[in-house]
Amino acid sequence: MLENKPSFESIHEHVRDVYIRSSDKNRNFIIAFITLEIFIFLAVANTTDINFLIPDIKICLPLINVTVNIFTFYIAAPVLIFVFHLTLLFNISQHAIKVQDWNEFIQKNKLESKKTSLLSHFFYNYQYSNMPSFIKMWLVLINFVIIVLSAPALLIYMWITFGAYHQLWVSSLHLFLGAFQKRG
């Protein structure tokens, strides 16, 4: 009995589609993550010390013009940053596996490197061979700052800005999440 083996073209298309879907998903997620960070940074920057001293005060969140209780916001914001950042790190690690699978497929089947330029890249074309080294250095630095450092920096900024008004458990939450993010 003959086995029905998938054709080379169908395998190629499947691997390529998995890679492109992963790139698109991660690109959209990182844009949402950066937007969330900017949004929370603006909300923190627009909160004054007097807002914490008035009981039951509500703050107007920038860009969406929604009012929320200030204490609810400052409890939920670090948790949102933490969850989004861990999800981002997990998605990027899974994307790296798909990129490796794609590269192995290309090498195994001796496909032309030109075909990889037809892919939807994560943010930019990762073909470094023609790129000057200073551009490579800046791309790595920008990726590191956005993906690794921005979330812990925002948590620390929130804690430093309003740490004097936190209850002990809220400060502990901020410090725990900030320390955990640094290790992640």
The predicted-structure confidence for 86-100, as pLDDT tens digits, reads as follows: 999 898 888 878 777
Radius of gyration of the chain (CA): 22
Backbone angles phi, psi at 123, to 5 degrees: -130, -40
Q: Are 70 and 58 in contact (CB under 8 A)?
A: yes
Which residue matches tokens 């804690």? 159
Instruction: Write out the DSSP string of 4-28.
Output: -PPPHHHHHHHHHHHHHHHHHHHHH
* 50-72 pLDDT, tens digit each: 877 776 788 777 777 788 888 88
Confidence class for position 114, pLDDT limits 50, 70, 90: very low
Largest CA distance in the chain: 80
Question: What pLDDT score was predicted for residue 181?
Answer: 62
pTM attached to this predicted model: 0.74
Mean pLDDT, range 22-51, rounded to an integer:
87
Question: What pLDDT score was predicted for residue 81?
Answer: 92
Question: What pLDDT score was predicted for residue 18?
Answer: 80
Calculate the average pLDDT of the chain. 77
Question: What pLDDT score was predicted for residue 51?
Answer: 77
Question: What pLDDT score was predicted for residue 112?
Answer: 58
Measured between alpha carbons, how far is 84 from 144 in angstroms, rounded to an integer? 16
